[in-house]
């Protein structure tokens, strides 16, 4: 039973999973969490406007990664894989990031393509679901990008059929469009139009109409689920595999867009680092809900690209 560590460094957050991996005789794999943690470091702060990683953002990321390195070593991880996604793909000073991560972690971080990001997220997301509920459409609304991947799961192997990564996420759409607090009707309309335009490239290549089950992963989806469920505090067990009707999802987004920063911050299920961008992320889910006419609800999974990164180390 190897113990592995996976680190996902995105535009908004950096996350760690240390897990034991069991390979069953039937070919399936099972992860047992040893440690799972998320910190919002906003690595992609300003990247969309400047094309460069902010030195303060790099320092926040370095501090979190140093803590993660100590944790995974203390937990006895035998291998570690770190992947970096949207913010580092776009940054002109990305070498500063990679030099820092290798110095702290001891192994180089990998920049993965949007398609690989989508594939890993799909593998992580579908493992707890009934194969008969496929085809599955997994959507990961991140800080700088949104991935859509359609595929199947036979109980042993996840097989993506089509995927596309688009350059829109909760941080990008907020920095570009939603500048007021709360955002104005004009800003919301502009953001909705932008999301629709950018996501169209995914709809052009991913046959979303084939999806039988829609799955949302990562922080925007799980936060919206916590709000929609009316949880008094964030509860991963209650959120994992919860089902949110599309009408409730849209209503939750509209509520978030009406609130100002302090009102959002008062909700204990919204992570402090997500308070200023959750409205933008929820708006992307609104646009998706409008386009996905063949499904009635969103299944929210706490398992995502982190789990895929861990399983890929076998």
| CA proximity to 178, closest of 193, 199, 165, 167 | 193
Instruction: Tell me the per-residue pLDDT of 142-191, one tens digit each, with 9 for 90 and over.
Output: 888 898 999 998 877 788 899 998 989 998 999 999 999 999 999 999 99
Mean pLDDT of 113-130: 82
Instruction: Tell me the per-residue pLDDT of 66-95, one tens digit each, with 9 for 90 and over.
Output: 999 999 999 999 999 999 876 677 788 888
Residue 67's pLDDT is 97
CATH architecture, domain defined by 3-111: 2-Layer Sandwich (3.30)
Cα separation of 98 and 61, whole Å? 11
| CA proximity to 195, closest of 160, 167, 165, 234 | 167
Residue 182, classed as helix, strand or coil, is coil
Is 200 a residue whose pLDDT tops 60?
Answer: yes
Residue 242's pLDDT is 96
Residue 8's pLDDT is 92
Strands (E), the chain: 3-9, 13-23, 29-40, 79-84, 110-111, 136-141, 146-153, 158-166, 213-217, 242-245, 297-301
Residue 24's pLDDT is 66
| CA proximity to 310, closest of 74, 71, 1 | 1
| CA proximity to 195, closest of 87, 285, 278, 292 | 285
Mean pLDDT of 102-114: 88
Is 1 a residue whose pLDDT tops 80?
Answer: no
Instruction: Tell me the per-residue pLDDT of 32-65, one tens digit each, with 9 for 90 and over.
Output: 889 999 898 988 888 778 888 899 999 999 999 9
The answer to whether 107 touches 135, Cβ cutoff 8 Å, is no
How do beta strands 136-141 and 29-40 pair? Answer: unpaired
Mean pLDDT of 212-218: 94
Whether the link from the prior residue into 135 is cis, omega within 30° of 0, is yes
| CA proximity to 142, closest of 120, 159, 110 | 120
Mean pLDDT of 8-21: 90
- Spans of all domains in the chain: 3-111, 128-305
Cα separation of 95 and 277, whole Å? 27
CATH architecture, domain defined by 128-305: 2-Layer Sandwich (3.30)
Structure tokens at 194: 């932008």
- Name 122's Cβ contacts closer than 8 Å, sequence gap at least 6: 136, 138, 149, 151, 158, 160, 163, 308
Dihedral sign of CA atoms 114, 38, 5, 110 in order: positive
Percent of the chain residues past pLDDT 70, beyond the cut: 97
Residue 238's pLDDT is 95
Mean pLDDT of 227-246: 94
Residue 86's pLDDT is 63
Mean pLDDT of 101-129: 86
Q: Average pLDDT, whole number, for the chain?
A: 90
Structure tokens at 96: 């500063």
Residue 205's pLDDT is 94
pTM of the model: 0.82
Topology agreement, domain 3-111 and domain 128-305:
yes
């Amino acid at each position: 039973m190897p113990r592995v560590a996976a680190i996902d460094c995105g535009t908004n957050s950096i996350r760690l999973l240390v897990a034991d991996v069991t390979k069953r005789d039937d070919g399936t794999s099972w992860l047992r969490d040893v440690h799972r943690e998320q910190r919002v470091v906003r690595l992609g702060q300003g990247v969309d406007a400047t094309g460069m990683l902010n030195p303060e953002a790099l320092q926040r990321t370095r501090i979190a990664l140093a803590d993660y390195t100590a944790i995974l070593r203390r937990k006895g991880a035998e291998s570690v894989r770190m992947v970096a996604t949207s913010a580092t793909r776009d940054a002109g000073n990305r070498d500063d990031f990679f030099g820092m991560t290798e110095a702290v972690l001891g192994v180089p971080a990998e920049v993965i393509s949007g398609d690989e990001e989508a594939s890993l997220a799909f593998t992580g997301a579908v493992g707890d679901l009934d194969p008969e509920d496929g085809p599955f459409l997994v959507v990961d609304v991140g800080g700088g990008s949104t991935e859509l991947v359609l595929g199947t799961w036979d109980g042993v192997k996840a097989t993506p059929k089509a995927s596309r990564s688009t350059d829109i996420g909760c941080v990008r759409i907020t920095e570009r469009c939603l500048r007021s607090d709360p955002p104005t009707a004009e800003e919301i309309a502009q953001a909705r139009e932008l999301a629709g335009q950018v996501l169209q490239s995914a709809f052009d290549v991913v046959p979303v109409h084939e999806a039988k089950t829609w799955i949302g992963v990562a922080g925007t989806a799980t936060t919206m689920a916590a709000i929609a469920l009316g949880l008094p505090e964030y509860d991963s067990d209650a959120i994992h595999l919860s089902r949110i009707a599309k009408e409730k999802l849209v209503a939750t987004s509209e509520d978030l867009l009406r609130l100002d920063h302090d009102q959002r911050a008062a909700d204990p299920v919204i992570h402090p680092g997500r308070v200023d961008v959750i409205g933008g992320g929820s708006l992307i889910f609104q646009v998706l809900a409008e386009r996905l006419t063949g499904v009635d609800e969103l299944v929210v999974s706490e398992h995502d690209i982190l789990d895929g990164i861990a399983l890929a180390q076998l």
